[in-house]
Amino acid sequence: MDKLDVYRWFRVPLRTGAVIAIVCLFALPATSLADTTLWYLSKRYDDTPNRIGQMRIVPIDIDANDASATFGDPLYLEGLIDDGHIPEAVTLMPDGSIVGATATQGYFSETFQIDSADLEARVSPITVTVLGTVGYDIEAMFTDCLGRVYAVDTGTSSTTATGNRLLRWASVVDFPNGPYEEIGDLAATGTDLDELGPGIVEGGVCDEPGYAADTGNIYRISYVNGTVEYLGTVDGVFNVHALDGSFFQDRRSRALIMRGHALSAGIPVELYAMHPNNVEPITLLGSTPTPIAHGFTGPMPRVCECGTQIPPDPCDGLGGDEDRDGVCDDTDNCHCPSAELCSNPDQEVMPPGCPDVPPECNNAMDDLQCYKVRDTSVPKFKRIGGVIVQSQFGTVEIDVRKPRQVCVPVDKDGSGITDPDTFVCCYQIKAIKPPPSTLVEVFDQFGELELELKTGKLVCQPCSRTLLSRP
Is 17 a domain residue? yes
- Residue 452 and residue 327 share a domain: no
Please report the sign of the dihedral spanned by the C-alpha atoms of residue 204, residue 205, residue 211, residue 216: positive
- Residue 134 and residue 197 share a domain: yes
Is 100 a domain residue? yes
Q: pLDDT tens for residues 19-52?
A: 223 333 333 333 345 678 888 888 765 444 444 4
Is 471 a domain residue? no
Contact between 165 and 152 (Cβ < 8 Å) = yes
pLDDT for the residue 143: 92
pLDDT for the residue 137: 87
Task: Output the domain CATH number for residue 191.
Answer: 2.115.10
- Residue 284 and residue 226 share a domain: yes
- Residue 117 and residue 19 share a domain: no
How many domains does the chain divide into? Answer: 3
Is 470 a domain residue? no
Helices (H) and strands (E) in the chain, counts: 2, 31
Contact between 130 and 153 (Cβ < 8 Å) = no
Query: Partners of 351 in the beta sheet?
Result: none
DSSP class of 304: G
Q: For 241, how many CA atoms within 13 A lie in the half-sphere containing its CB?
A: 29
Is 469 a domain residue? no
CA 48 from chain centre, in angstroms, equals: 34
Is 162 a domain residue? yes
- Residue 343 and residue 325 share a domain: yes
Closest CA to 364 of 2, 94, 23, 6: 2
In which domain, by residue range, is 402 found? Answer: 6-31+365-463
Contact between 383 and 400 (Cβ < 8 Å) = yes
- Residue 295 and residue 321 share a domain: no
- Residue 326 and residue 293 share a domain: no
Contact between 6 and 31 (Cβ < 8 Å) = no
pLDDT for the residue 142: 93
Is 107 a domain residue? yes
Is 279 a domain residue? yes
Could you list the pLDDT tens digit for every one of the 471 residues in the chain? 433 334 334 434 433 332 223 333 333 333 345 678 888 888 765 444 444 467 888 899 999 888 999 998 889 989 887 666 778 889 998 888 999 998 875 568 899 999 999 999 999 999 999 999 998 889 899 998 888 999 998 877 767 778 889 999 988 989 999 889 898 898 888 888 889 999 988 777 888 899 999 888 999 999 988 999 999 998 878 789 998 887 888 778 899 998 765 444 556 788 999 988 888 888 999 988 765 556 667 666 555 655 567 765 444 444 444 444 545 444 444 433 333 333 333 333 333 332 333 333 333 567 889 999 999 998 999 999 888 887 777 788 888 999 999 999 888 777 677 778 888 999 999 877 777 767 887 766 676 778 888 888 899 888 888 887 665
User: How far is 185 from 283, CA to CA, in rounded Å?
Assistant: 33
Contact between 102 and 128 (Cβ < 8 Å) = no
pLDDT for the residue 141: 93
- Residue 402 and residue 329 share a domain: no
Query: End of a domain among 353, 384, 413?
Result: 353
- Residue 148 and residue 53 share a domain: yes
Q: For the chain, what is the largest distance between any 2 Cα atoms, rounded to a whole number of angstroms? A: 87
Q: Which strand (E) or helix (H) includes residue 451?
A: strand 447-452
Question: CB-based contacts of 123: which residues, under 8 Å, 6+ apart?
Answer: 75
Question: CB-based contacts of 25: which residues, under 8 Å, 6+ apart?
Answer: 7, 8, 9, 10, 250, 391, 392, 440
- Residue 391 and residue 330 share a domain: no
- Residue 273 and residue 318 share a domain: no
User: How far is 1 from 417, CA to CA, in rounded Å?
Assistant: 12
- Residue 220 and residue 134 share a domain: yes
pLDDT for the residue 421: 80
Contact between 134 and 108 (Cβ < 8 Å) = yes
